[in-house]
Amino acid sequence: MARQEMPIFIRTFDFLTWLLPVTNNFPRAHRFTLRQRLLDAAFDLSERLEEANIRKGAARRERLERADEANIW
């Protein structure tokens, strides 16, 4: 039986797909700094979720807590 993809991964991918083109329309003065910070935070969240997904039990919970703490916007 195939494992069903968790909704958080689908939502994170959808968010990144939406965010990338939107940040290209930022005003020139903010395009590099604000865009870079937003994208870094979004990709860091995605990476932390992937790290949590390959673990089980307490290690998984710890990685999810890291993702939650690191991405307080």
pLDDT in tens, 21-48: 999 888 888 788 888 999 998 998 888 8
What residue type is assigned to position 47 of the chain?
E
What's the longest Cα–Cα distance across the chain? 51
The rounded distance, in Å, linking the Cα atoms of 66 and 31 is 28
Phi-psi region of 19 (alpha: psi -120 to 50; beta: other; left: phi over 0): alpha
Q: State the pLDDT at residue 72.
A: 56
Contact between 39 and 26 under an 8 Å Cβ cutoff? The reply is no
Q: What integer is the mean pLDDT of 11-24?
A: 92
The domain spans of the chain are 8-70
Would you state the pLDDT for residue 3?
A: 57
pLDDT band at 16 (very low <50, low <70, confident <90, very high): very high
